A and B are shown apart, each in its own frame.
Chain A
Amino acid sequence: MKRIGWLWLVVSSALLASLAAETRPQYGGTLHVAMRTAVSSLDPADTGGVDSFARRSLMRLMFDTLVTMDESGRVQGWLATSWQASGPQRLQLRLRRGITFHDGNALTAEAVAASLRSANPSWNISVDSDSVTIEHDNSDSLLLAELALARNAIEKKMSDGKPSGTGPFQIAEWQPGKKLTLTTAESCWRGRPFLDAIEIEMGKNYRDQMLALESGKAEFIEVAAEQFHRVSVDGREIASSAPMELTALLFSREATSPDDKALREALAYSVERNSIRSVLLQGAGQPAGSLLPNWMTGYAFTFSAEADLNRARHAHAQTRSNPTWTLAYDPNDTVARLLAERIALNARDAGVTLQPSTNATADLRLVRIPLASANPSLALTALASATGLSVAKTKSDSVEALYASEQALLATRQIVPLFHLPASYAASARVKGWTVNRDGSWSLADAWLENRQP
């Protein structure tokens, strides 16, 4: 009996040891990532007018921001250790010491100021020995949220023109829009990452990414929102962000007449968001009657996302004209075509004629806009900026002011919100320690590869 007990103890110890070895982070290895977005520039400030979760993710691998936002939306120090108001609309941020760029140069206040000026030419920035002071016309909280954006990551141009950051990885090979190879930054102030390198293939559609994951050519991929449930059923490592992407219909021009407004209203009421979500999006995301998601504002439920065909027809009945609008969608986005066709069908029921098209010049477009920040005020401002809409500037960060701003934007009838979708990612079972940030970007700084073969 004793002998059996010892034997049981030895076997149990061995099993526990092996389990511990599997869950313990391991250094080394190259992680292969596939992504849909073809990033053309690695300069954080050079967004080219297009924001994406992929770009945010890449920036966070190579660069750091002065502050960051935690899961609850609170601002945390990152390259800056502390900040304080040095006057009205004047914020002084004290830098962390002992940090070097990938090229070995120290992170100085001047370098930080230069980087911020490059991303925000309108800002008035002054430097101190170990701090930078920013004069602004927003609230401090809004400024801090903005400093947490990836586009405000601190970078320094190296002699060969490549950007150098302070993040855990540095650029080894860069083929704009095609491939990026990152290697470990040994001297990262956050400590050496577990991975030796990350190879990122760009411009791969969701299907190709899935095939790459299944064939072992990629260990980490993006997953279309509507595929999330299906992929999760297949038992892969999968995660989603909060709904951070707005899918909406964006008119190319303002409503010019009461008829025009009524037709847009009819269109907005005609869309069967719930049906589309449950079928085409396979339950992913949330139907949206507002621009910002409810988790961000808390009031989004007050904007109805239900289809109301009677109201839609009533609105259409008020009009005397019945133009045929062209609805443009991204031809590379398979679900976008289905969405456009379904919306056209719904609109036809209300009497509005929509012609889906892949032509760039159309009366309205089906757009997907990543919300810039978890901060609702900043997200709304950035959304308005990205869509070309004008939003009244308020000094207040209050929910009432935000609600008023959003309602004013919707009242223009230039944008019809449809859905808020999360960003979803899948990884092979070998990849451990990866996370999805609240803003939809992924983080591989702490990821590691398990040695076992899939």
Chain B
Amino acid sequence: MIFRRKLLAVFALTVFLSVGGVATLVLIMTRRAFEQNEEQRTAALVAQFQREFTRQGDDIARRVGEIAASDAVSRMASAVAGPTPDLAGYFDAAKSLAESRQLDFLDLVDAHGTIISSFQSPAKFGYPESGFENLSAAAEQRAFLAQEESTDSTALGLFAVRATRGFEHPVYAIGGRRLDSTFLSTLDLPADMRALLYHNHGDRFSREWLIGPQAGNSPDAHPADRFEPLVDAVRKSNQEMTFKISWSSDQADDELFRAIPLRGLGKERPLLGILLIGASQRSYVELKRHIRASALLVGGGGIVLAILLSSWAAARVTRPVEQLARAAQEVANGNWDTRVEVPGYDEVSQLADSFNRMTSELLSHRERLVQAERVAAWRELARRLAHELKNPLFPLQLTVENLVRAREQSPEQFDEVFGESARTLLAEISNLKSIIGRFSEFSKMPQPQLQALQLNETIANVAQLFHAQLQAPGRPPIECRLELDPQLPLVDADPELLHKAISNLVLNAMDAMPLGGTLTLRSRREDGHAVVEVGDTGTGLTREERERIFTPYYTSKQHGTGLGLAIVQSVVSDHKGRISVQSESGRGTTFMIELPSSVRDARLGN
């Protein structure tokens, strides 16, 4: 990953984490605020329920008191007090009295607790009223919660007991109202809250005992069975509890219920009902979603903005670095005179300045080096010329001295000596010419005439040319092995120069194998280049020889000019190729010429 992208990623991550952190913090604070709000609202609703409970209880007590004080009940009390009370005519008295006071329940019982008339269970006349240990004490109490059982149903109600006054054996009016959907409807609930009532009847949870604010017992479309764990928990613990119910996969449908046990009269205060106050989580979840969406939006926008700003900042920061990198690349490519701008005085500018000074130093060093190498080359050339010329000059000197001596000392043999010396002189002069010719040839290396060339053909021609020499009698045989890649690409090359270069390499190989061996001519395709390898199984090169082998006029041979491989390198270089050598002492040497494939070949897709 490049420096600019890294910088960009760091900037973006920083913004993302910052926005995410802020959003999370806001969410946590929102949730806490909502929880506190829910607590307050639920507490308010519970207080409202209790106020409504008390208000309704007082209202019921008042109505029951009115019934107890009514003429009809007084007449009943008088009849009860008679010697042979005939109460059959009163059995349906409770109905009209209850209906006139809008009560759901009304039992009129005598002092012994025997039912004279019952509104909700008319058939119960003559039966003892159940659920009251002391009617006279109950008549002095405020309204209370009780369970009313009939032959086919059981109901939860708010009851009050009142007695007729002025009679030794009073008649008690036990009246009440059903705690049902109507009662729940009287609760003034916020829009996203609701109250349900579970009538604790039987040993197990039953949906029929769950009362909602709507008409009928069905609380709503939600399955009532979901309340079972909450109801069971409250029944077991007999304490207030909170429970969340998920109605669907959508969290917005969740409701948080607070269950409040409702107890009846008596020493044991039995659990008669459970008030369930539910608060919808929709507003909270929607707010949470809104915050999350906002956080995502702001975060996304922030990230985009951060990317843009980071791009700008990173570009501003990294541009000098990139310039430095490019300049370094140029220097690596040999353009040592590359310079970079020094815009300011910061660390990067100092770095750029140092770079410029470094390249200047390098350039200076290189020029000095080139100059030194040139001097060295001239010295080497002089040494080689001296060496090369000294060899033929010494026989020339000897021959001339021999002629002079023969003229002076043996004139009779002068002609014979002259003839022989003349041949020797001519031969050595020819040798001198040859030496001068090779130097001249190296200095006059022609420019290559490029054409699309199939290297394999050139290699095969070279092999054919040297075939006879390799197998010449009187010298140890050298086996020539051709390993040519038929997929070798065309190269743009001068056939003659390339033939000459490869021939030089073959000659070198032959010189390296005085005792015979194997000459390998190989071609192969590598990374779109054509590679020609010329290998021998000779004595190999030392490390110093490998390093200096392409230096002009350097030779490791007794009679070499040191120009062969220099010419090969010159030819390869003129073809925009590269030559290298691999050698191991005692194992042989392999020269590798790498040439770019022909433009035509590239167009053909090879």
Partner-B contacts on A (CB < 8 A): 272, 275, 278-280, 282-283, 338-342, 344-345, 355-357
Contact = CB atoms under 8 A, between A and B. Distances in A.
Nearest to B127: A345
A282 B90 CA distance: 10
Contacts of A282: 88-89
Nearest to B152: A356
A344 B88 CA distance: 20
Nearest to A354: B151
B122 interface: yes
A341 B91 contact: no
B126 A341 contact: no
Nearest to A346: B123
Nearest to A348: B151
A344 B123 CA distance: 9
A344 B122 CA distance: 12
A345 B89 contact: no
Contacts of B152: 341, 355-357
Given A355-B152, A356-B152, A341 B123 contact: yes
A342 B88 contact: no
Contacts of A272: 126
A298 B127 CA distance: 34
B30 interface: no
A214 B124 CA distance: 31
Residue among B121, B125, B126, B151 with the most chain A CB within 10 A? B151
Interface in B93-125: 121-125
B22 to A, nearest CB: 65
B126 A356 contact: no
6 contacts: A279-B125, A280-B91, A341-B121, A341-B151, A342-B123, A342-B124
Contacts of A356: 151-152
A345 B124 contact: yes
A181 to B, nearest CB: 36
Contacts of B121: 341
What 7 A-B pairs have minimum CB-CB distances, sorted nearest first? A341-B123, A342-B123, A279-B91, A279-B88, A278-B88, A341-B151, A344-B151
Interface string B31-55: 0000000000000000000000000
A275 B114 CA distance: 14
B239 to A, nearest CB: 35
A344 B153 CA distance: 13
A341 B149 CA distance: 12
Nearest to B150: A341
B302 to A, nearest CB: 70
A280 B123 contact: yes
B126 A275 contact: yes
Contacts of A340: 123
A348 to B, nearest CB: 8
Nearest to A229: B89
Given A279-B125, A338-B123, A341-B123, 15 more contacts: A272-B126, A275-B126, A278-B88, A279-B87, A279-B88, A280-B91, A280-B123, A283-B88, A339-B123, A340-B123, A342-B123, A344-B123, A345-B123, A356-B151, A356-B152
Contacts of B126: 272, 275, 279
Residue among B88, B122, B123 with the most chain A CB within 10 A? B123
Interface of B: 87-89, 91, 121-127, 150-152
B600 to A, nearest CB: 103
A341 B123 CA distance: 6
B284 to A, nearest CB: 47
A357 B151 CA distance: 10
A354 to B, nearest CB: 8
B89 A341 contact: no
B98 to A, nearest CB: 16
Contacts of B150: 341
Contacts of A280: 91, 122-123
A340 B151 CA distance: 10
A375 to B, nearest CB: 34
B194 to A, nearest CB: 33
B161 to A, nearest CB: 22
A341 B88 contact: no
A342 B122 CA distance: 8
Contacts of B124: 341-342, 345
Contacts of A345: 123-124, 127, 151
Residue among A279, A280, A283, A342 with the most chain B CB within 10 A? A279
A356 B121 CA distance: 13
Nearest to B117: A279
Contacts of A344: 123, 151
Contacts of A275: 125-126
Contacts of A283: 88
Contacts of B125: 275, 279
B365 to A, nearest CB: 115
Contact of B122 (A278, A338, A355, A357): A338
B596 to A, nearest CB: 103
A341 B127 contact: no
B75 to A, nearest CB: 15
A278 B85 CA distance: 13
Nearest to B122: A338
B443 to A, nearest CB: 129
A345 B122 CA distance: 11
A66 to B, nearest CB: 45
A306 B320 CA distance: 119
Contacts of B91: 279-280
A422 B105 CA distance: 33
A181 B127 CA distance: 48
Nearest to A277: B88
Contacts of B127: 345
A408 to B, nearest CB: 32
Contacts of A338: 122-123
B94 to A, nearest CB: 13
A205 B138 CA distance: 41
A356 B127 CA distance: 18
Residue among A344, A345, A357 with the most chain B CB within 10 A? A345
A280 B95 CA distance: 14
A283 B124 CA distance: 17
Contacts of B87: 279
A356 B124 CA distance: 14
A46 B123 CA distance: 38
A341 B122 CA distance: 8
A339 B123 CA distance: 7
Nearest to B90: A279
Contacts of A355: 151-152
A345 B149 CA distance: 12
A303 B89 CA distance: 28
Nearest to B121: A341
A282 B151 CA distance: 22
A283 B122 CA distance: 16
Residue among A272, A282, A339 with the most chain B CB within 10 A? A282
Contacts of A341: 121-124, 150-152
B90 to A, nearest CB: 9
A280 B91 CA distance: 8
A345 B91 CA distance: 16
A279 B125 CA distance: 8
B122 to A, nearest CB: 5
A356 B150 CA distance: 11
Residue among A275, A342, A344, A356 with the most chain B CB within 10 A? A342
A341 to B, nearest CB: 4
Nearest to B87: A279
A356 B122 CA distance: 14
A342 B124 CA distance: 7
Nearest to A278: B88
Contacts of A278: 88
Nearest to A281: B88
A62 B401 CA distance: 187
A426 B152 CA distance: 35
A339 B88 CA distance: 15
A355 B151 CA distance: 7
Nearest to A275: B126
Nearest to A335: B122
